[in-house]
Amino acid sequence: QVQLVESGGGLVQPGGSLRLSCAASGIPFSRYSMGWYRQAPERQRELVAAITSGGSTNYADSVKGRFTISRDNAKNTVYLQMNSLKPEDTAVYYCRADFALWTYWGQGTQVTVSS
């Protein structure tokens, strides 16, 4: 059974930091591209950051320079380090794994940036 388990979300003040983790099981993790997406209320789900099996990364313009995606294949885990958080970063953050035609999603974790 494929499972993506996210953790690290919560409430943080503007300018603060959070580190999200997504632990994957049931897939050959190293083959998969991993991504973080987010969805705010009544908004489209959007790509935040992605990292390929080869380690190449891509970021949404809105988070570039503030967020860093990384992966630890030995731990089957992908991370999203979020710094200088803004209220507009508030959303449910979802972990995604994909390889060829296989795509899996995590359950989502709430990130709230508020003073």
Q: Tell me: the pLDDT tens digits for 36-49?
A: 999 999 999 999 99
Q: Are 53 and 71 in contact (CB under 8 A)?
A: no
**Residue entry with tokens 């580190």:** 19
Tens digits of per-residue pLDDT, 50-64? 999 999 999 999 999
Can you tell me the distance from the alpha carbon of 38 to that of 80, in angstroms, rounded to the nearest whole number? 12
Query: Is 50 within 8 Å of 34 (Cβ atoms)?
Result: yes
Q: What is the pLDDT of residue 41?
A: 94
* Positions of E strands within the chain: 3-7, 10-12, 18-25, 33-39, 46-51, 57-59, 67-72, 77-82, 91-99, 102-105, 109-113
Q: pLDDT tens for residues 2-21? A: 999 999 999 999 999 999 99
| Mean pLDDT of the 87-103 span | 97
Confidence at 34, pLDDT banded by 50, 70, 90: very high
- CA dist., res. 57 & res. 64, Å (int): 11
Q: Where does the pLDDT of residue 73 fall: very low under 50, low under 70, confident under 90, or very high at 90 and above?
A: very high
